[in-house]
Amino acid sequence: MPKLIELVDGQARWAEDTFTALTDEDPIPPSGDVILSLARFQAEGDALLASNSRQVGVRIEPDQEVEGLAYDLPRIAVVALAFPKFRDGRAYTSARLLRERFGYQGQIRAVGDVLQEQAGFMVRCGFDAFEPADGATPEVLTKAANRFRHVYQRAADDRPIALDERAV
């Protein structure tokens, strides 16, 4: 199992992962938090959430549109955005839309081919949890996420951008 790193106030740290990522074939365990595919969430999510005994997360593949989740977002604890390859950049758009357009407050988790080089981009787009594929530690991720003293464009983070700094 990949280890989970969470980002809190710009600092990355190891976190206990209470969620079990289920394939569509895995049986639903009797208890515990789960992450489901979008299709399975649409089929079984209501029932699982109704029990109020566990948290439910949804895994979104790059070709799936987060708009489909908009209505359910308030009750989804984790949106896991998949990177089948690190070169596939669609999840960055998904993350920004979740944060900036739909005001999603829960965890956005990067899963799949997640490398430290991408951390800065991911944090800016609203990711706050990572399952690194390259063995990156929280120290490495913190450094990677804060490598640039300045940024130029507004994104999902609330960082002042270059023009804000200039206006001071």
Partner 1 sequence: MYQYDLIDKEFLADRSAEFRGQVARRLSGELTEDQFKPLRLMNGLYLQLHAYMLRVAIPYGSLNSTQARRLAQIARDFDKGYGHFTTRQNIQFNWIKLKDAPEILDKLAEVDLHAIQTSGNCIRNTTSDPYAGATAEEVDDPRVWSEVIRQWSTLHPEFSFLPRKFKIAITASAKDRTAAKVHDIGLMLRQGRDGTLGFEVIVGGGQGRTPYVGPTIKQFLPTDRLLSYLEAVLRVYNRHGRRDNIYKARIKILVAALGAEEFARQVDEEWAKIDAARADLPTAELARIRAAFAKTPFETLPARSDAFETAKANDAAFARFVRNNVKPHKQPGYSIVEVSLKAQEQTPGDASAQQLEVVADLAERFSLNDLRVTHAQNLVLPHVKLDDLPTVFATLQASGLATPNIDLVSDIIACPGLDYCALANARAIPVAQDIARQFADLDRAEKVGELKIKISGCINACGHHHVAHIGILGVDKKGEEFYQLSLGGSGAEDASIGKILGPALPADKVATAVDQLVGAYLNVRNDGERFLDTYRRVGLEPFKEAVYAQAD
Residue ranges binding partner 1 (CB under 8 A) = 62, 65, 86-90, 92-93, 96, 100-101, 115, 117-118, 120-122, 124-125, 134, 147-155, 162-163, 165-167
Q: Compute the CA torsion angle 70, 73, 78, 79 (nearest 10 deg).
A: 0
- Which residue lies nearer to partner 1 by CB, 35 or 145? 145
Q: How far is the CB of 157 from partner 1 (least distance, A)?
A: 8
Q: How far is the CB of 150 from partner 1 (least distance, A)?
A: 5
Residue 162 to residue 46: CA distance in whole angstroms = 44
- Which residue lies nearer to partner 1 by CB, 55 or 64? 64
- Which residue lies nearer to partner 1 by CB, 77 or 125? 125
User: Rounded to the nearest 5°, which phi and psi values hold at 128?
Assistant: -135, 10
CA distances (Å), origin 123, targets 32, 97, 167 = 27, 14, 24
